[in-house]
Structure 1
């Protein structure tokens, strides 16, 4: 008789099949395996990454000059339309269109012969009137002596007196006619009233001018010096007046403030001048005050009608704090900078900003001279978290730094 095979985990004992108790052995083996795995996990425990590195620098501290910035337009201080003030045919044009001429230079000549003859005629009449006055004066003196000797009647003296007075009046009229004739003769020579550039001529030689009304011949414009007209806001006007009051400067002396001008294609403000006029009232519709500067223009680099940049220095500050403009952020509450405190934790500091000065932004308030401002690595600087600050020199903060991209997490 063939016996059936014994199942696993069973044995035969005295002809009986007995099941082995293996559960405790399995539990012991599983526990040992788990202990080995836990030991391996302890060797690969999580290590937090180091704080991110950011570049920090203290604010730059130096003296600055505060400016009023504006935009304006140039305008000539003198521009005159040259006209024919006497009637006649245009005899000559004595300049080149667009040329620079000096004061007194002859520009146009209107036929002078007729007016020269009228002047000579008036001069001759004046000479005759002088002779008449001389004769009448001698006759009057003679009649006075005769009356005193009772040789002639008083009526004869009265007639001599009247004749003398009429001759004197005629002489005065002749002198006036001579002056008028001289003035009209001078009008035949149209000269430059000041140094300037003359426009193209508007009439031709041989054309009759000054017939019914003065005929415009050309226009002359003075370019040196030149005006710069611009407007200053009401807030800036108050700032300047308050600063002048603080420094004890009379309001009238504000006109002595310098003015700096630059063209759109120029770097900086190479043209220097001074204030020439400040309007007496603020425009209610625009809230601005009209101001004018006077700028020397010897090389005629500024032409009337140019659109220019204008700034007026009105205050100096000895110890201003400045940071790179890229280190300043903004949110709904305003402008801010990120600073690293003594525990190397990032803080967000609200600041009031001022103007740019040589590439740096002036900080009016909210920052101290010993603060460490984050200048690079701004994406890695999160308020409330710790960082590894890399200190830069204050001068290095002026150079724009390139924001480094965060390294990929491993």
Structure 2
């Protein structure tokens, strides 16, 4: 049998080992606070910013005209492809013309007859004048010859007018495009009788280059524009509308890629809606814009030389409005309510509540709890951002007096 006496330890040694084990376990269970969360902090940017009104509107064709048959007859040809672009003067339809050719020829014959009769009347009148000088005829005969000559001259004018009308009606048998544009599908087929009881619509032609955008400015915005102009010592009539740029973007587009200028503002505010209608015109050579599109519209209305900006994703929202998380004394996070302005790309203008020397939490916002201590890392506010381009010249505030509108086809 194995001797167990060698496994026995002295009692004092056992007590020392037990005390050491208890002390070790007490150290492992002691609470150690976690390190402060790491966040990025940045000072606001100061830069020039163009102030805009951001509105909504709709695009509209600069010209849209119904193509109609103005004379009666059978439709003989359709000379375009549905939906194709055409130039001004291009023949679109032809209407049966033999009737109108005959009417023109008849009018020409009547004119020739009137001219021949006028020659005879002129000769008779001249003969009567010579006889009067020889005292062979009477004044009554001279007057009668003069009346017949006048009647012959009037018949010529009447025949010329009839011929002109006949040529006009003959011209209506060739239906031409009144301006450059795109023609819709034809509404009447070849062989149909048109123009029987009045003009018959054959198609519609739409001009989309350039193109209009219509939008409404609210009454408070109109008053704000007037106030800004008053500060500059100007009034509405001092601004030329075509000098005011307008930019639009579609629902599927980022930003405002389509550029143009204003060309009309209504002379009065609509009392029913409290808005003023404004129109811009834009180049549309590639037909990227179609009439009827919903559009986001941006119009410059002012300029800030030293605007204070922060990243838009650094802003939070509560019941009081927008706020920023700030780095306070001893790296303690503070929440501060601010008044925001317009967006400038990925930045936002801060109108009140922020100083250029403040440090704003820009990344790690979820870990920055007001009242808690953080480990800040200083970075630039615009790090990794794509900033909006700055205009070369300050924008001009639009006027609300109407500019001369471009003439449209009847």
- Tell me the TM-score normalized by structure 2: 0.79
Native 8 Å contact 2:226 2:235 kept in 1: no
**Partner residue of 2:349?**
362
Q: Runs of 5+ in structure 1 lacking a partner?
A: 1-40, 400-410
Summarize deviations over 1:171-190 as a string: whole Å, max 9, x none: 11111101100000001111
Native 8 Å contact 1:375 1:397 kept in 2: no
Aligned mate of 1:197, from 171, 182, 195: 182
Aligned to 1:170, what secondary structure does the other structure show?
A: helix
How far has the Cα of 1:92 moved from its partner?
1.2
**Partner residue of 2:299?**
312
**Partner residue of 2:21?**
none
What is the rounded CA distance, in whole Å, between the counterparts of 2:229 and 2:122 in structure 1?
Answer: 70
Aligned mate of 2:241, from 232, 255, 260: 255
How far has the Cα of 1:282 moved from its partner?
2.0
Matched, 1:75 2:54: no
Aligned counterparts, 1:112-191, within 5 A: 112-191=97-176
Matched, 1:63 2:44: no
Summarize deviations over 1:112-169 as a string: whole Å, max 9, x none: 1211121121122112222323332343344334434433222112111211211111
How far has the Cα of 1:386 moved from its partner?
5.5
What is the rounded CA distance, in whole Å, between the counterparts of 1:204 and 1:145 in structure 2?
Answer: 66
Distance 1:203 1:380, change over 3 A: closer
Aligned to 1:117, what secondary structure does the other structure show?
A: helix
Native 8 Å contact 2:311 2:381 kept in 1: no
Aligned counterparts, 1:216-231, within 5 A: 216-231=201-216
Q: Runs of 5+ in structure 2 lacking a partner?
A: 1-25, 387-410
Aligned counterparts, 1:210-359, within 5 A: 210-247=195-232, 250-252=235-237, 253=239, 255-256=241-242, 257-341=244-328, 344-359=331-346
Bigger Rg, which one: 1
Aligned counterparts, 1:24-63, within 5 A: 53-63=38-48
What is the rounded CA distance, in whole Å, between the counterparts of 2:201 and 2:36 in structure 1?
Answer: 81
How far has the Cα of 1:388 moved from its partner?
4.4
Deviates more, 1:276-285 or 1:240-249: 240-249
- Tell me the TM-score normalized by structure 1: 0.79
User: How many residue pairs end up in the alignment?
Assistant: 358
What is the rounded CA distance, in whole Å, between the counterparts of 1:149 and 1:58 in structure 2?
Answer: 116
Name the Cα RMSD after superposition. 2.7
How far has the Cα of 1:339 moved from its partner?
2.5
